[in-house]
Chains A and B, each alone.
Chain A
Amino acid sequence: MTSALSVDRLEVIFDRFRALKGVSLDVLSGESFGLVGESGSGKSTLLRAIAGLAPAASGSITVNGKRLGARRDKAFYREVQMVFQDPYGSLHPRQTVDRLLQEPLAIHGFADGEKRIQRALDEVGLGTGFRFRYSHQLSGGQRQRVAIARALILEPSILLLDEPTSALDASVQAEVLNLLEEIRRRRNLTFLMVSHDLAIITHMCERLMVMQNGEAVEHLTADDLVRRHVTKDYTRNLLRASEGFVRV
């Protein structure tokens, strides 16, 4: 299999603070790859750097065989899209769902907008009843569906997911996870997914990387994690912590 996304010794520096200290990873085409790790360890920064929202100080990013420069061109955004963690913050408060979905089509000059919006809404399980609502008229789960529809409307091959369900409750989380899995299967998408919930990562991903303090701690397969074949202490701590709170 070919690699869809590969990151090589990527470094991101914010005012002398090294948020990423040379991280490498390789995501195969059609694969779902997970990122877990400490809060503040640079998971979101890694996704943002790939998307061009955070400055890369050194290292390289390759998408579908093409090495990316400092600036992303329009073609890039048709390959890679992102879903943000917070469904309440990622939709423009003054725009209807229709307008939100139209924007990417207008930017990229698609002519068959009407059909695409219809299809995108159907795909995420929102009927036409939602098309002209404002984001404040939607629940968290519905908002996240809109965000997913917006990311899919340009038909990217790689989807970056930054904790797509952490703001959602358990039942809606299950619905959104099922939706993501189904879309991935249908469109043969590549996922790079951040989550702090190991159960979600093992459910959704085949391989994963554990991060701490701007560095990769270890690379694992989901099977390793399930069978607890881990080598590093930090990963072991994570596994122990996901069993719940223990009073000391």
Chain B
Amino acid sequence: MSAEAIQSRRDWLLSERPASRMQARLGRAYVAWRRFSANRLAFLGLLIIIALLVVAAFADVLAPYSPTIGDLKGSRLLAPSAEHWFGTDDLGRDILSRVIFGSRWTLYVVILVAVIAAPIGLLVGTVAGYAGGWIDAILMRITDIFLAFPKLILALAFVAALGPGIENAVLAIAITSWPPYARIARAETLTVRNSDYIKAVQLMGASPFRIVLRHIMPLCISSLIIRVTLDMAGIILTAAGLGFLGLGAQPPLPEWGAMIASGRRFVLDQWWVAGAPGFAILIVSLGFNLLGDGLRDALDPRSGDQ
């Protein structure tokens, strides 16, 4: 594409008088993207997350060995080498392959938690904030009860009740992580619910349901996305923690937390067994954190005019 064509496309996106719904929407997305990509660290975060997605998608191709079947006789606890980049564990399995396959589980946990917890929090928070009165009181007391316990302990209690396993760990984390989202959504709702533009929609004859869904939720979503992204690191760590305690993923599943747990026995002599998954957790958490910070700057309506 020639420089001129690029320039004219940019002008089209940034037009002050868009000619169609599509153009207006794309223009807005483009502005947010420009602001986001101007932030180097945020961009690095995005690259890390994209790398995670690619690795998870192509784990079969990328992993040099099987993640679950090792060579017990010949290759137990080998140090990192050209053959096994991250070394091998006590069952002779290639750690690099396990870390690569482990990305799938990490992603699975993160996405499921986000998909379950964020909408629950959004719904509870906006409904409580908009309805007010006793509905608000009841919903917020429930939220408070959840918030009163440390997350990991509550998750532990749930897993203990539901039984160990990665699905139950996900469920437990999701159940325990919505309350902060509800808080955020409610606070945001409180600041907008008395504004004239919401009054104006009421005056059109819109039902409360429609107002919450179409006019209030979109205003809360960006702060929620930011918060969820920033929480991702915590979610990964909680999942890893449950795995570590033996309540999350069960062997031989290559989940990073469980890997650290089984590697801790040799952490002094064969540090790579626990070190490699630990490092992976660190990098991915960092990626999500950087991404979240960047999104905050790009999406926050208070920063700049868009």
Contacts and interface: CB of A to CB of B under 8 A. Distances in A.
A147 B210 CA distance: 20
Interface of A: 51-53, 72-74, 76-78, 81-82, 84, 86, 89-94, 96, 98-99, 103-104, 107-108, 128-130, 132-134, 136-137, 147, 150, 154
A81 B203 contact: yes
Interface in B28-57: 28
A107 B206 contact: yes
Contacts of A98: 21, 24
B204 A92 contact: no
B122 to A, nearest CB: 15
Given A93-B301, A94-B219, A132 B24 contact: yes
A133 B197 contact: no
Nearest to B23: A132
A108 B203 contact: no
A84 B200 contact: yes
B305 interface: yes
Interface of B: 16-21, 23-24, 28, 195-197, 199-206, 210, 214-215, 218-219, 301, 305-306
Nearest to A91: B197
B24 A133 contact: yes
A132 B19 contact: yes
Contacts of A92: 197, 201, 215
Contact of A96 (B24, B197, B203): B24
A74 B205 contact: yes
Contacts of B305: 136
Contacts of A137: 16
A108 B205 contact: yes
Nearest to B200: A90
Given A94-B219, A98-B21, 11 more contacts: A52-B203, A77-B204, A89-B195, A107-B205, A130-B17, A132-B17, A132-B20, A132-B23, A133-B24, A136-B306, A154-B204
A104 B200 CA distance: 10
A133 B203 CA distance: 23
Contacts of B17: 129-130, 132-133
A130 B18 CA distance: 8
A86 B16 contact: no
Contacts of B306: 136
Contact of A86 (B28, B196, B205): B196
Nearest to A94: B218
